[in-house]
Chain A
Amino acid sequence: MSTVTLHETSAHHATHDHGHHEHHDSFISKYVFSQDHKTIAKQFLVTGIIWAIIGGLFSVIFRLQLGYPEATFPFLEDFLGHWAKGGKLQPEFYYALVTMHGTILVFFVLTAGLSGTFANFLIPLQIGARDMASPMLNMLSYWFFFLASVIMMSSLFVQTGPASGGWTVYPPLSALGEASSGSKIGMDLWLVSMAMFIVSSLLGGLNYITTILNMRTKGMSMTRMPLSIWALFFTAVLGVLSFPVLLSGAILLLFDRNLGTSFYLSDIVVAGKILPNEGGSAILFQHLFWFLGHPEVYIILLPAMGMSSEILSVNSRKPIFGYMAMIGSLFAICILAFLVWAHHMFVTGLNPFLGSVFVLLTLLIAVPSAIKVFNWLTTLWKGNIRFTPGMLFAIGFVSLFISGGLTGIFLGNSALDIHLHDTYFVIAHFHIVMGVASFFGMFAGVYHWYPKMFGRYLNNTLAYIHFWVTLIGSYLIFWPMHYEGLAGMPRRYYDFSNWESFKMFGGLNQFISLIAMIVFAVQILFVINFFYSIWKGRKVTTMNPWEANTLEWTTPIRPGHGNWEGDIPEVHRWPYDYGKDGVDFIPQDVPVGADESKH
């Protein structure tokens, strides 16, 4: 009598196990309304790149104003019309540009463009799944993002201009249409667009978490997952728990703007007219905003951390140092992210005792951050380093994270923050640690996984130019801002030439603006490299060009929907067996040999 063993597959395998019969896709279902996670990832990436060009261009335009406050640029009038009458940027539009630069870069590029791209691309490929838990929701996630993008984009073209109260949209400026031209229809469009954006990131986040927890291939235990997946997992958890709070804050703001409520408004006089609003509190919005806003910083940063960890290990030909400590520190950052929001509010009249609690919790973040930095450096230590473009950007990420993180220790102290709040010191800090560092993580990811995305390589010479100019340029732009900030130069000012105390920075501001233009030009070079290489780049000829261990390199060079042609590979080991027992690398799907040592 023989025994037959049947494995009951769960429902998702039955529904998504369709790697072989995807031949009759039309153009629309393959490239537009695609449910393939890899295509959706590319959609997020390309939309993100478009937004990054727009957001970056805005910064170049307002840097023109900051560097050359006296000059006129007639070409600006051709381009911006009455917003730059006579070639001079109008103050109202300067604020609009600053606001949109922040909004676009924080949300549309470094949240959707970064998480949206790499969570979609890497999660199924690296954990061994054919697709996301719900490909349908995944597709909706992109299209909600697209809708948000269209609405935000349309706000650039309304007569009164886009939102201009800063990317944090604090009331009362954002709550009262009469407060400024950007507080009119532009602000409503901003809120509606953000609501769509939140829906998009929630749908994405739900999918990422479920896929990671539920759909790993056989043998892929949680502690065998690459750190990129761990980081994307914590990112999704942060997003799912913090974005709804921003949504509730935004809903209350919409009510205040359009239905006459007073959640955030009280005792306000506009142009000599006393408004009827009573009993609201503008600080309440700041609490709700920063309860998202601070986790948002880590939503931006964690994917960059995870991808850099992975790339550093692969290109040092060494296992990542302190794998469990890396996961532990990600978790610690995740918890602390929810407990430090009031450090953005030290100057709002916050009770100083409460402030000191937030100081302590804020400074505690230095501990997991230092663990991560230590582990990255020890991973590099005595490694057999290959300076691929991806690797350079990952190392650049570590450099920027250290430089920007150190100034966080200054700002986290409430006593110092009272002086430094809303100065260029803050601008320098968060641009280095969150903006540029995350961009470096994103670039590292693009250069490293481009061969998997498009089956071709990016041009290396252009990549090296891109790296060096961006790294040196970023430091040249933001390092001097620390000194300006220490001298008290406030952020968000249109023109500093009227202040005796800031006149001495005129030359420095010009220098920063010049470098900003050069760095922007080099980003355009990257974009050209990116699109050119999709069709004309050098073709990938081996399945595993970086000789990496993770599962995405076991798929065909250009995987179809379903990722693996045959069965999904089984996992037998962690992803960091580099240089083990004298073997350069052992992919995760190779069974453990009888005489193999433990890692």
Chain B
Amino acid sequence: METEVIKPKNKIHPHKFTLWVGIGSIVMMFAGLTSAYIVKRNQSGWVSYELPIAFWYSTIVILLSSLTIHLSAKCFKERMMGKYRKWMAATMLLGVLFVVLQFIGFKEFWQMGMTLQANVSFSFLYVIVGLHGLHILGGVVALIVMSLKAFSKKTRNYSIVPVDLICTYWHFVDLLWLYLLIFLIMIR
């Protein structure tokens, strides 16, 4: 007896699709903020500034984390669960490190007199980078949950969907950071 499996069209999982639409929504929020930034920059009272060094380190960290989560998803697909666990945990740690570095950057910035209230240009930096940070934090929480599940002996991990979702989201917040970084360097 021959068995023929017909795969349905429309292969994208509904949760993954929901994530993509959600990403579109987040993009609109940052598009709103960055265009407000551009409008304000052309008005009087704008002060230029240098980004804190810690932001550069955090950029390296988040780029690395994108690599590790990619490797983690790849190992999951090949059912190399040991490696999957390690890379997932590494991504989680790098995510935490990113948040810490961003916080240090804020502190550095604040101590140089560029406080939240001092000028509207600094206020924008805090709000935009801070909101991105919140999105990262959301990702970190998800990564912690994923890592705990990966190391738990009770849960069995078969479905690729959660790994795929967190992977897409994490790459997105990484790209979003790169966009914001380039934006803040080019326009200040």
Residues of B close to A278: CB separation below 8 A: 45, 119-120
Instruction: Assess whether B14 is in contact with A214, with CB atoms less than 8 Å apart.
Output: yes
Residues of B close to A215: CB separation below 8 A: 14
Stretch at the interface among B18-26, B66-74, B176-184: B18-26
Stretch at the interface among A180-188, A280-288, A449-457, A559-567: A280-288
Judged by a CB distance under 8 angstroms, whether B93 is at the interface is no
Judged by a CB distance under 8 angstroms, whether A50 is at the interface is no
10 A-B pairs with least C-beta separation:
A279-B45, A244-B29, A245-B32, A133-B14, A261-B123, A248-B32, A279-B120, A260-B117, A244-B28, A210-B18
Judged by a CB distance under 8 angstroms, whether A40 is at the interface is no
Instruction: Assess whether A252 is in contact with B36, with CB atoms less than 8 Å apart.
Output: yes
CB within 8 Å of B: which A222-271 residues: 240-245, 247-249, 251-252, 255, 259-263, 266
Stretch at the interface among A6-14, A76-84, A390-398: A6-14
Instruction: Assess whether B8 is in contact with A247, with CB atoms less than 8 Å apart.
Output: no
Given contacts A3-B4, A214-B17, A251-B127, contact A241 B44 (CB under 8 A): no
Residues of B close to A281: CB separation below 8 A: 39-40, 43
Stretch at the interface among A201-209, A376-384, A401-409: A201-209
Tell me the nearest residue of chain B to A216, going by C-beta: B10
Residues of B close to A9: CB separation below 8 A: 8
- Cα of A8 to Cα of B6 in the assembled complex, Å: 6
- Cα of A6 to Cα of B30 in the assembled complex, Å: 45
Looking at the assembled complex, report how far the CB atom of A422 sits from the nearest CB atom of chain B, in whole angstroms. Answer: 24
- Cα of A244 to Cα of B24 in the assembled complex, Å: 10
Partner among B7, B29, B116, B117 whose Cβ is within 8 Å of the Cβ of A245: B29
Partner among A3, A8, A134, A288 whose Cβ is within 8 Å of the Cβ of B15: A134
Looking at the assembled complex, report how far the CB atom of B157 sits from the nearest CB atom of chain A, in whole angstroms. Answer: 15
Judged by a CB distance under 8 angstroms, whether A367 is at the interface is no
Residues of A close to B36: CB separation below 8 A: 248-249, 252, 263, 284, 287-288
Give how many B residues have a beta carbon under 8 Å from the other chain's beta carbons. 44
Residues of B close to A205: CB separation below 8 A: 21, 25
Judged by a CB distance under 8 angstroms, whether B131 is at the interface is yes
Tell me the nearest residue of chain A to B7, going by C-beta: A8
Given A244-B32, A263-B120, 4 further pairs, Cβ under 8 A:
A206-B18, A240-B24, A241-B24, A255-B123
Tell me the nearest residue of chain A to B28, going by C-beta: A244
- A284-297 interface code vs B (CB 8 A; 1 in, 0 out): 10011001000000
Instruction: Assess whether A241 is in contact with B25, with CB atoms less than 8 Å apart.
Output: yes
- Cα of A241 to Cα of B21 in the assembled complex, Å: 9
Looking at the assembled complex, report how far the CB atom of A249 sits from the nearest CB atom of chain B, in whole angstroms. Answer: 7
Judged by a CB distance under 8 angstroms, whether B186 is at the interface is no
- Cα of A314 to Cα of B184 in the assembled complex, Å: 55
Given contacts A133-B15, A280-B120, contact A244 B26 (CB under 8 A): yes
Interface size class of A (residues with CB under 8 A): 35 or more
Instruction: Assess whether A6 is in contact with B15, with CB atoms less than 8 Å apart.
Output: no
Instruction: Assess whether A6 is in contact with B3, with CB atoms less than 8 Å apart.
Output: yes
Instruction: Assess whether A134 is in contact with B18, with CB atoms less than 8 Å apart.
Output: yes
Partner among B6, B12, B13 whose Cβ is within 8 Å of the Cβ of A6: B6
- Cα of A279 to Cα of B46 in the assembled complex, Å: 7
- Cα of A302 to Cα of B127 in the assembled complex, Å: 34
- Cα of A70 to Cα of B12 in the assembled complex, Å: 65
Judged by a CB distance under 8 angstroms, whether A583 is at the interface is no
Judged by a CB distance under 8 angstroms, whether B31 is at the interface is yes
Given contacts A9-B8, A240-B21, contact A287 B127 (CB under 8 A): no
Residues of A close to B25: CB separation below 8 A: 202, 205-206, 240-241, 243-244
Given contacts A241-B25, A248-B29, contact A137 B18 (CB under 8 A): yes
Tell me the nearest residue of chain B to A2, going by C-beta: B1
Judged by a CB distance under 8 angstroms, whether B78 is at the interface is no
Given contacts A137-B18, A210-B21, A279-B43, contact A259 B117 (CB under 8 A): yes
Tell me the nearest residue of chain A to B3, going by C-beta: A4
Instruction: Assess whether B17 is in contact with A5, with CB atoms less than 8 Å apart.
Output: no
Residues of A close to B30: CB separation below 8 A: 248
Residues of B close to A1: CB separation below 8 A: 1-2
- Cα of A373 to Cα of B7 in the assembled complex, Å: 43
Judged by a CB distance under 8 angstroms, whether A418 is at the interface is no
Looking at the assembled complex, report how far the CB atom of A564 sits from the nearest CB atom of chain B, in whole angstroms. Answer: 19
Tell me the nearest residue of chain B to A241, going by C-beta: B28
Residues of A close to B46: CB separation below 8 A: 279
Looking at the assembled complex, report how far the CB atom of B7 sits from the nearest CB atom of chain A, in whole angstroms. Answer: 5
Residues of A close to B10: CB separation below 8 A: 10, 214
Residues of B close to A280: CB separation below 8 A: 120
